[in-house]
Structure 1
Amino acid sequence: MTAVTEAAVRAHLDAQARPPGSLGRIEDLAVQMALIQQTMQPRADRVALLLFAGDHGLTQDGVSAYPSSVTQAMVATLLAGKATANAFARAVGAEVTVIDAGVDADLSHPALVDAKVGRGTGNAAREPAMTAEALALALSRGAEQARIALDRGADVLALGEMGIGNTASAALLMHRLAPAALDDCVGVGTGHDAEGLARKRAVLARAAARTDTTDPLEVLRQFGGYEIAMMVGAIHGASERNAPVIVDGFICTAAALAAVRLRPEARRVCLFAHRSAEAGHDRMLKALGAEPLLDLNLRLGEGTGALLAAPLLRAAAALLSDVASLDDVLAGRI
């Protein structure tokens, strides 16, 4: 099979019945889609949101304005179809799969995928977040969920997460893997006031002081969450299948950062949905050489930004497959 090249895709776009370059970044997105899927007619008809949920031991030290029990409550809301991600998925025609990566509760629901590695991670301010064995299991289960979604006909994967305390975990990953000063990585998360933000910074400083490791796998073991590790695995699984992955906000981007630091070739399948309002996200995007598709002041998570970006991928794919060339227009062959 002849490889699809950027030059060939650009030539196809430039020959269309419109001024070359007139669609700006949508043309760039079309090129990226064609290169990822290795076809001049990429597809984004079926978008599958993989929403991984997990709890974090860091919440024991007050890094979140909400208790860990909210994770379980929001998983129930997602499974009932009443969360923001569900509403956005219906609006853009995407499918939602909720995956228990490590919620600190015994969950049972016909629509819930049970991939639980453990009931929440260890408290990274005091101990490694997970064992090497647990991390390997989370990575493999994330890759497996990507493969399952693609085998069921998904053209594009979108990533989402739910987990009280996961902005704290993501900040630590960014600190070591971007790398960046810790204070530049820590934001308000679920809505801290000034006192809560100061407490979060102090807890994360203690966590960072436990180890000076910069090895990507060890950083993920020390500071990651089960849901974050599964997203890393999902990106790797998608990369093996040449499938585009829409990366959501701050936490998902931290997973993408870890995925790329572990396997640089995974960067090519990552499409970054939006620039989050969470402190540090713009700097993390820059560390990945990423320019997001949207900038809407979002900071919810759940894959909401990724879902809002999905129609842009469909438009970019249609641009390559459905637009006549200028030669055909002028020759009356339409």
Structure 2
Amino acid sequence: MSFSGMPFDDVRSLLSQLETPDDTLAEAMTQAFARAGYPGTALGRLQELGIWLARTRGAVPPLIGKSGVALYAATHGFAEDALPQQRVRVDAVAAGAAAVSHLCVAGDLSLNVFDLALDLPSNDIREDASLDERSCAATIAFGMEATAEGADLLCVGALGAQAAIAASAILLALLNGKPEQVGAADRNIVSEAISFHADHLSDPLEVLRRLGGRDIAALTGAILAARVQNIPVVLDGLPALAAAAVLYRLAPHAISHCVLASSNSPLEIWAAEQLALKPLLELEFSGEAGCAGAVAAGLLKSAAALAGGVAEVARRMG
């Protein structure tokens, strides 16, 4: 994505070119299940996911081969002392020592962690916009590179509690939430940030640049790029959910290719309902980015394999 005019113009242009999902292939997959002896929702959520994958991938059967997890790491001005911990997290993932690393090995998933200038925290959202427009747009463009090497399935998330705090502010601003929905430990930061930017929260991209950080901006780009390329996305955690909310407010069908891995906090459960995202899992993960996404990827692979087998049976039956 290259800039033309104002930095966000290219993002808006790309969103305007997105076509609404075509239900033709979803219907074809539904009929295949019926011909194979599984009408309606006989196979439950797996059948539902198989049909969704056919619509998202634009193919019957929906093939899921190369799959991966992309995690983004940044630092935020309201928590500058978090840099050492954040670097430890990044190093653990890069070294294959984090919990998500082991799950990715087990699930045959690639794993990439992106260091988004950890030594340069974004501005403190309680007293300034997190990013200027050009920096935010550039980070969105960087996030879009997550699909550059090709993928059939992408799981996305962000490292660190700071990203979750910024995400909480974004979700409240975009979905008309209240500070009481945020955990007590983070409530003051979120409330002060929303109050400071209250007159500038009507545009979702402006909400992103003011309240988010490089991590959530990059997540927004990754989700958008996957939508353009018909790649299913598993959202892992509040930051990914916040990035999806930005796109949803710009064009609801921009997240038709997304599913939510899990929802843990009351805010996450509420936001998921607002975005019509039903969690795939209830594993009570807390603070370990990518784990729920990696497990959910296995569920989607199973759904794709099921859809493939059913489609073959239906084909033989004529």
TM-score range, shorter chain: 0.7 to 0.9
Give the aligned partner of residue 50 of structure 2. Answer: 30
- 1:205 and 2:185 equivalent? no
State the TM-score, normalized to the length of structure 1: 0.83
- 1:82 and 2:100 equivalent? no
Deviation per residue, 1:194-217 (Å, 9 max, x gap): xxx35x322222111112223101
Give the aligned partner of residue 41 of structure 1. Answer: 61
Letter paired with 1:231: L
Deviation per residue, 1:8-62 (Å, 9 max, x gap): 22111111145652211111101110001110011222211111111111215xx
Q: Distance in 2 between matches of 1:19 and 1:230?
A: 40
Is the contact between residue 45 and residue 155 of structure 1 (CA under 8 Å) also seen in structure 2? yes
Give the aligned partner of residue 312 of structure 1. Answer: 299
Give the aligned partner of residue 245 of structure 1. Answer: 233
Q: CA RMSD in A?
A: 2.0
Q: Distance in 1 between matches of 2:162 and 2:279?
A: 24
Give the aligned partner of residue 254 of structure 1. Answer: 242
Letter paired with 1:169: A
Q: Distance in 2 between matches of 1:259 and 1:149?
A: 23
From 74, 93, 102, the counterpart of 1:54: 74
Q: Distance in 2 between matches of 1:41 and 1:15?
A: 14
From 117, 120, 123, the counterpart of 1:102: 117
- 1:284 and 2:242 equivalent? no
Distance 1:19 1:287, change over 3 A: closer
Letter paired with 1:241: Q
Give the aligned partner of residue 112 of structure 1. Answer: none
Q: Distance in 2 between matches of 1:68 and 1:214?
A: 31
Give the aligned partner of residue 135 of structure 1. Answer: 136
What is the Cα deviation at residue 167 of structure 1? 1.4
Is the contact between residue 75 and residue 82 of structure 2 (CA under 8 Å) also seen in structure 1? no
Gaps of 5+ in 2: 1-21
Deviation per residue, 1:264-297 (Å, 9 max, x gap): 332111121112x223000010110111111111
What is the Cα deviation at residue 164 of structure 1? 4.0
- SS of the aligned residue for 2:110 comes to strand
Letter paired with 2:83: S
Structure number with higher helix proportion: 2
Q: Distance in 1 between matches of 2:27 and 2:314?
A: 18
State the TM-score, normalized to the length of structure 2: 0.87
Q: Distance in 1 between matches of 2:256 and 2:288?
A: 23
Q: Distance in 2 between matches of 1:262 and 1:149?
A: 27
Letter paired with 2:248: V
Is the contact between residue 250 and residue 278 of structure 1 (CA under 8 Å) also seen in structure 2? no
What is the Cα deviation at residue 299 of structure 1? 2.0
From 157, 160, 176, the counterpart of 2:157: 160
Q: Distance in 1 between matches of 2:23 and 2:243?
A: 29
What is the Cα deviation at residue 6 of structure 1? 2.6
Q: Distance in 1 between matches of 2:121 and 2:258?
A: 27
Is the contact between residue 55 and residue 68 of structure 1 (CA under 8 Å) also seen in structure 2? yes
Q: Distance in 2 between matches of 1:3 and 1:205?
A: 41
Between 18-27 and 283-292, the greater mean CA deviation after superposition: 18-27
Letter paired with 1:203: I
Task: Find the structure with the greater CA-based Rg.
Answer: 1
- 1:219 and 2:216 equivalent? no
Report % sequence identity: 27
Between 121-130 and 297-306, the greater mean CA deviation after superposition: 297-306
